[in-house]
Structure 1
Amino acid sequence: MKKIKGALALLAVLSLAGCGAGSPSSGTAESSPEGTSGSGAATALEKVEVGVIPIVDVAPIYLGVKEGIFEKEGLDVKLTLAQGGAAIVPAIMSEQMDFGFSNVTSMIVARSKSLPLKMVAPGGSSTGDTKADFASVMTKPDSGIKEIKDLVGKKVAVNTLNNISDSTISEAVKLAGGDYKKVHFVEMGFPDMTAQLAAGNVDAMAAVEPFVTISEADGNVPIFSNYAEPVDDLTVAVYFTSDDYIKKNPETAAKFARAMTESQKFADENPEKAKAVLPDYTSLEPEVIEKLTMPRYYTEVNEASIEKIAEISLDRGLIEKIPDLTALLPSK
């Protein structure tokens, strides 16, 4: 238990944006160097750089690199840890990176602002279980908050205002019959939430793993998962690139999409192996990793869930109009 709580101190330097935690310091992890052909001659691999965030959602891409899935497609992947999705988008637009990772709300908002970004593969998805998901709204056991509509009039910590957490929570409150406009959201980094909850500065916190597990170790209790409810089978995050990159590099984009999809499938079928790569890019203790609830790693983006997130984003004023989702969603 002490080691689980101690992990909070290790993670205190993390900063969050989009749907995930930032890293203690930016870094890279690369796939194996050049492969060899059957005759023993060196076969040059095409180098691609991918911006990721050090959270459990991106375990499949690390696992895919480790298992040689990307190398099989002829790709030498450089994984660059970013402070958050806000740093990855401009890197893609300026061609400093080839692919990136982001939550779906940020993608919808970006496309609505005429940024030519396109999803190429799914990232993490909700488990669909409101009691056992990798995201959860947590509170103190004596807070008096027992169900979703009890959040009305309360202060709820979210890592980013006007994004996936507050919009999904407000929608859940609305569907539960509560006045979602009276939920007060407070922006702060995930690592700060448990302390602020303990101090009484907020009444609840919208956390993702590993902060759900860490918060539970401190005695806090879950109310519901805002990723499992109110949107069914929510695709939470995706890998993306720019329209221009796809136009210039169609074969590379297709290779990356295939390798990423295979990596997702492998991780979903081998959750313990997915957990085993977490120490490669996070500072999580083994005791924390063992207790984590991992996302589902599906091979397709759930288009219905993206449409619902777009509708919620429009209703909450995050966007002025729903963008062309066909242009945003992965090509079929």
Structure 2
Amino acid sequence: MRRIIAGLAALTLVVAGAGCGSGDSGGDTGGGGVDKVKVGIIPIVDVAPLYLGQQKGFFTSRKIELTMESGQGGAAIVPGVVSGQFQFGFSNMTSLLIAQTKNVPVKVVANGVASTGQAGKDFGGVAVRKDSPITKAADLAGKKIAVNTLKNIGDTTVRESVRKAGGDPGGITFVEMPFANMPAALQAGQVDAAWVVEPSLSAVTAAGGRVVAWNYVDAAPDLTVAAYFASTKLIADDADLVKRFTDAMNESLTYAGAHPDEVRAVLGTYTKIDPAVRASLTLPKWPTTINRASVETLAKLGAQDGIFAGATPDLSKILP
């Protein structure tokens, strides 16, 4: 669970180089017309459908041979997709909106993961220690809160939780750290609260911690959190490959949503999540349709909180 967008400003160099034809336009074609495709991912619960789809043959039936590579979050995955290192990548929507405002030539090709839309039953939230005086979202005003990446989907949605509860988010101090480090930091009192996602969320609650804000739920109904994307060059040069990947991804998302036990099992093939935690953690939703209204909300929140450096995201250039 690594940084998702830290250092995205460095993409300016990648964009400049992208016009020079670096990287292949599509996957390498193996014997029998099979495309060898690399997907840049972060090895977290969110990408379980991709691994499950690979296991079930949804990609091989469409002549795609998948290889997943872990990137250092969006800061590595986005430029990796632009350069051709990866044919497809996974990133949260706010990171992709930031990329779009910097004119990075990428576009969403399939949905990734969504909030459950249910307070009390989501895969991410703002948690505090069991002995914390903080009991509700409004109490987070003026506090020190851990997020995995500054100026991204975490702090913008946390601020919205505070606003909706009648608090002032202006005085919040956000501290950047990996999700995996947050349970210990919270327990040690290094931060007042932490925005955690599964399985770190389960680790916090197992230690007696309490969730005081469900920030994805507060931000927008059925929030689209992340998506799979490709470079605009690949989309233009190999539309057939992109369509096959999208179709396979949609089948994978649908299958994952209908087979939670198989999702929990496949998590054991690419993460080190304890089996007992895998059995009980809250899974996200995996719809095939992107909730455009929720992405518009993320764009508005990001603009309100100044993470787009004065630019306005153009959703028509990033969403399919």
Question: What TM-score results when the alignment is normalised by the length of structure 1?
Answer: 0.87
Matched, 1:183 2:183: no
Say which of 202, 205, 217 aligns to 2:206.
Answer: 217
2:254 to 260, 265, 279: 265
Of residues 91, 99, 113, the one that matches 1:124 is: 113
One-letter amino acid of the counterpart of residue 207, structure 2 = D
Distance 1:16 1:313 in 2: 18
Report the CA distance between 1:18 and its aligned residue: 4.6
Mark the CA change 1:106 to 1:172 in structure 2 (over 3 Å): closer, same or farther.
same
Pairs aligned (count): 297
One of 66, 73, 77 as aligned partner of 1:77? 66
Q: Work out the percentage of aligned pairs sharing the same amino acid.
A: 43
**Residue of structure 2 equivalent to 1:65:** 54
Deviations 1:280-300 (A, max 9, x none): 110111111011101100011
Structure 1 or 2: more helix by fraction: 2
Task: Out of 286-295 and 81-90, give the one that drifted further.
Answer: 81-90
Q: Distance in 2 between matches of 1:17 and 1:196?
A: 20
Counterpart mapping for 1:51-62 below 5 A: 51-62=40-51
| 1:288 aligned residue (251, 264, 277) | 277
2:124 counterpart residue number: 135
Of 305, 326, 332 in structure 1, the residue corresponding to residue 316 of structure 2 is 326
| 2:4–2:95 contact (8 Å) kept in structure 1 | no
Match of 1:192 among 167, 173, 181: 181
| 1:160 partner letter | T
- Please name the residue that 1:27 is paired with: none
The AA in structure 2 aligned to 1:166 is D
Which amino acid in 1 is paired with 2:148? N
Code of the residue aligned with 1:226 in structure 2: it is N
Residue from 268, 282, 298 that aligns with 1:309: 298
Structure-1 residue corresponding to 2:4? 17
3-state SS of 1:277 partner = helix
Stretches of structure 2 lacking an aligned partner (at least 5 in a row):
7-29
For each residue in 1:257-313, what CA deviation from the matched residue of structure 2 results, as whole angstroms up to 9, or x when unmatched? 111011000000111111110011101111110111011000111100000000001
Separation in structure 2 between the aligned mates of residue 292 and residue 44 of structure 1, nearest angstrom? 40
Please state whether the residue corresponding to 2:142 is helix, strand or coil.
Answer: coil
Three-state SS of the structure 2 residue aligned to 1:47 is: strand
Where structure 1 has 5 or more consecutive residues not aligned to the other structure, the ranges are 1-13, 20-33, 35-41
* 1:89 counterpart SS class: helix
TM-score (norm 2): 0.90
